[in-house]
Amino acid sequence: MIDRFEQLLKENVYSQRDLDNSVALVSTGANVTLIIQLLWFLLEPMTIHSILRPRKGLPAFTEGLVNQLAADLQRINLLGVKKVVAATLPLLGCLPIHIIPPNTYQNCDEEYNKNAKIHNQLLQKAVEKLNTDDGNKSTFVILDLYNAMVSAIDQFRQNATNTACKNPLQPCCSKTVEYICSAEGLCSSPKSSFFFDLAHPSDNGAWNVIYSFLQVNLRFHPL
């Protein structure tokens, strides 16, 4: 994508004025991370012991991933974008896709949350270094999706009055057909649910609340 962006600049699709008034948002995304962790799991020796033991090699792999991400952030800035925002990984272990029976969507998977924290801590250090190398400016900013999601889930639990919506980890869509939610698998109040399906927060129930916490984050790091 950065190669494509650079090509567009060479073709004068965007001017320097456009770049001066733009903010770049960079995110590895939960879906990408899920795939990486799945591949890591499949590449390990498939034994009972390997399934149960912590994935010791994953932190080192994450460090390489964050190093590449930091290089990409710097490259975008060198192409002329004055402000570059890096999003942290969200609360991966609380995605319904990781909460399997007999849990019944009551508790998050702390192993996934631990891996997300490792990624985010490394990203925070990388961004701090980029800003230091840039003369202690605030060119690079962290968008803290992880803690915004923690706060949003806590608020959802505190404010829930409908018994059908008290559990934020319960997805609204319980049945899909070819990756599309079927009508009979839809909850009675989609707008009140926190998660729409196994991996995505709902627009009304979750993202509005998450965004309100992100606004506080950005208030301390104006764009």
The structure's pTM equals 0.80
The secondary structure of residue 89, as a DSSP letter, is P
pLDDT of 165 above 90: no
The per-residue pLDDT for 5 is 92
Asked if residue 187 has pLDDT above 70, the reply is yes
Q: What is the mean pLDDT of the chain?
A: 80
- What pLDDT is stored for residue 183 in this prediction? 76
Instruction: Work out the average pLDDT over 7-21.
Output: 91
CA angle 177, 178, 182 (to 5 degrees): 25
Provide the total of helices (H) and of strands (E) in the chain, helices listed first.
8, 5
Please check the confidence at residue 50 and state whether its pLDDT lies above 50: no
Query: Is 27:87 a contact under the CB 8 Å cutoff?
Result: yes
Looking at residue 41, what is its pLDDT? Answer: 43
CA distance linking residue 213 with residue 197, whole number of Å: 22
User: Does residue 151 surpass a pLDDT of 50?
Assistant: yes
- pLDDT for 65-87, tens place per residue? 899 999 999 999 999 999 999 99
Question: Model confidence over 89-141: pLDDT tens digits?
Answer: 999 999 888 876 656 788 898 988 998 999 999 999 999 999 999 887 889 99
Range picked from 114-128, 166-180, 191-205 for highest mean pLDDT: 114-128
Cα(31)–Cα(62) distance, rounded to whole angstroms? Answer: 15
Tell me which of 28 and 161 has the higher pLDDT.
28
So what's the pLDDT on residue 83?
Answer: 92
> Is 59's pLDDT higher than 50?
yes
Q: What are the φ and ψ backbone dihedral angles of 87, each rounded to 5 degrees? A: -85, 135
- What does the pLDDT read at residue 37? 47
Query: Which has the higher per-residue pLDDT, 140 or 193?
Result: 140
